Amino acid sequence: MLPANSNKLIHSLQRLSITVSRSLSAAAAPLTDPLEDEHIIPFKNSSQSEFQVSTLDNGIKVASYDNGGAISRVVVAIKAGSRAETQAQKGLSHLMKNAAFVTNGGRSILRTVRETQQNGGTLECSNSRELLSRSCAFMRTKLPEMMENMAPGIVDPAFKPWEMGDVKAQCANDIATLDATAANLELLHKTAFRDGLGNSVYCDKLKLAVLGPADLEEFASQHYIGGGISVVGANVDHNELLRYSTDLLGSLPGGASVTTAQQYHGGELHMNTSNGFSYASLVGAGAGLTSADLPVFVILQRLLGSGTSIKWGSNTVSSRLNRSVADVSEGPRMVTALNVSYSDAGLFGVHAVASPSSIGAVLRSAVNEVKDISGGNITVEDLERAKNQVKAGAMMLSEGSEDMTEDLVNQVVFTGGYASPAALFKNIDSVTLEQVVETAKQVFAVKPTLVVTGDSSGSPYLDELL
């Protein structure tokens, strides 16, 4: 059985993962057979040559692809996530996200909203640990109007004191609506990394009263520079996107975005944050997005089990974690492999939700499954199934423009180029049983991290699990 809100919990975890778990019906071959070329339905404009990347004089990267769709998307990604905050700036990335479309040097809020509606478009801004991203979706004939509407907030930002009340109110609402799994993952990052990636993507309530327009202006001047910005377009003409990016963003100062190398520390935290379930994350150091070990971690995640392939299924067939906890807990529970990757660091392990009396048994069972794989209890059939699931998930990313654009943004920002899903299959196919076994041995071997929130009254400690 799963908790009533398990779908929401799993979704929160999967959004942080390098892979996306969906129905695998798109793979025509059985999951235990290798996916040959004839089993993969080609999608339009999937080759490397059809993705174009250019660099402006001030260092801004401009990338695009065009599948001929009627709806276009443009994302301006800035390396100004919470990782970029100093000790005194913590929380500014969250405020910058909610202040993205306030009055600026070129447009009032009213004009921004009015022109967006007139053009039938949408404007959004999101922040993560590494990026602050403004995005717009619109009919492909409206590229000039939407770019002109979005650019002033980047080139000429202005933060009026009388508008800060609404911005901070939205920040407070984001914090109030934070679900239990997201809150657990915030504390997990803080414990594992301390600073940098350990900085929360949410502004602390006490800091909301302290931060003001001058802080936002300083933060923008530090990070709104050419070397830290990438413009990515979907279903747009590359030359047009390049021209408008040059005209509208070319005046930004150049310079490289400086990021301090992230260090993984590990640690342990038990905190009572609510009544009801216990939320536990047990992880070790994972792989970054550019690490050669990333394909092995992705395969290991699938072998352990991450989410379900059927809407109301428990996935006890292919998920080793779900099979193992079924024997130790009869109450509501959820357990999944956790694989979070950033540009130069990552976390890998398990996340579990269970009653306070069962959380210890669930975590021990999950640890035993990792140890089981590290002991060589894995077959070639298991490995091929996991590889096929990873490949199917990668191909599914290419079916929707939103997912594909997000993937392109991450690759362009952190690698400067793009590799299509088909090009990544060689790395997946090259993963061996020996590599998976060796990686499983290292998961909890050095500086593990355990964070338990919710009702932590019955939670075990690290020395009781490992």
pLDDT of amino acid 354: 93
**380 and 298 co-located in one domain:** yes
pLDDT of amino acid 326: 78
**269 and 368 co-located in one domain:** yes
Calpha distance 93→132 (Å, rounded)? 7
**70 and 219 co-located in one domain:** yes
Structure token digits, residue 173: 């609402």
- Confirm whether 50 is domain-assigned: no
- Confirm whether 150 is domain-assigned: yes
**340 and 196 co-located in one domain:** no
Q: Which domain holds residue 311?
A: 6-42+261-465
Among 384, 385, 354, 374, residue whose Cα is nearest residue 434: 374
189 burial (CB, 10 Å; 0-12 / 13-18 / 19+) is buried
Residue with tokens 């970054």: 288
99 burial (CB, 10 Å; 0-12 / 13-18 / 19+) is buried
pLDDT of amino acid 201: 96
Residue where one domain finishes, among candidates 228, 249, 270:
249
- Confirm whether 187 is domain-assigned: no
Q: Which amino acid belongs to residue 416? A: G
pLDDT of amino acid 317: 62
**380 and 430 co-located in one domain:** yes
C-beta separation of 28 from 39 below 8 A: yes
DSSP label at residue 314? -
Residue where one domain finishes, among candidates 207, 228, 249:
249
C-beta separation of 455 from 275 below 8 A: yes
**149 and 298 co-located in one domain:** no
More confident residue, 3 or 339: 339
Q: Beta-strand (E) ranges in 183-288?
A: 229-234, 267-270, 278-285
- Confirm whether 307 is domain-assigned: yes
pLDDT of amino acid 311: 64
pLDDT of amino acid 25: 30
**97 and 233 co-located in one domain:** yes
Angle between helices 143-150 and 238-249 (to 10 degrees): 30
**83 and 148 co-located in one domain:** yes
Any bridge partners for residue 77, and if so which? 133, 230
- Confirm whether 47 is domain-assigned: no
Q: Per-residue pLDDT for 162 more than 60?
A: yes
Average pLDDT over residues 28-34: 48
Among 457, 25, 143, residue whose Cα is nearest residue 276: 457
**226 and 277 co-located in one domain:** no
Q: What percent of the chain has pLDDT over 90?
A: 71
pLDDT of amino acid 393: 84
Q: Per-residue pLDDT for 292 more than 60?
A: yes
**245 and 267 co-located in one domain:** no
Mean pLDDT, the chain, rounded, equals: 86
**213 and 306 co-located in one domain:** no
pLDDT of amino acid 27: 35
Calpha distance 283→193 (Å, rounded)? 12
**99 and 201 co-located in one domain:** yes
446 burial (CB, 10 Å; 0-12 / 13-18 / 19+) is exposed
How many folded domains does the chain comprise? 2
- Confirm whether 302 is domain-assigned: yes
Structure token digits, residue 97: 């996200």
- Confirm whether 148 is domain-assigned: yes
Which CATH number fits the domain that encloses residue 374? 3.30.830.10
pLDDT digits (tens, 9 = 90+) for 331-368: 778 899 999 999 999 999 999 999 999 999 999 999 99
Among 327, 328, 338, residue whose Cα is nearest residue 370: 338
- Confirm whether 355 is domain-assigned: yes
Assign 316 a pLDDT band (cuts: 50, 70, 90). Answer: low
pLDDT of amino acid 308: 65
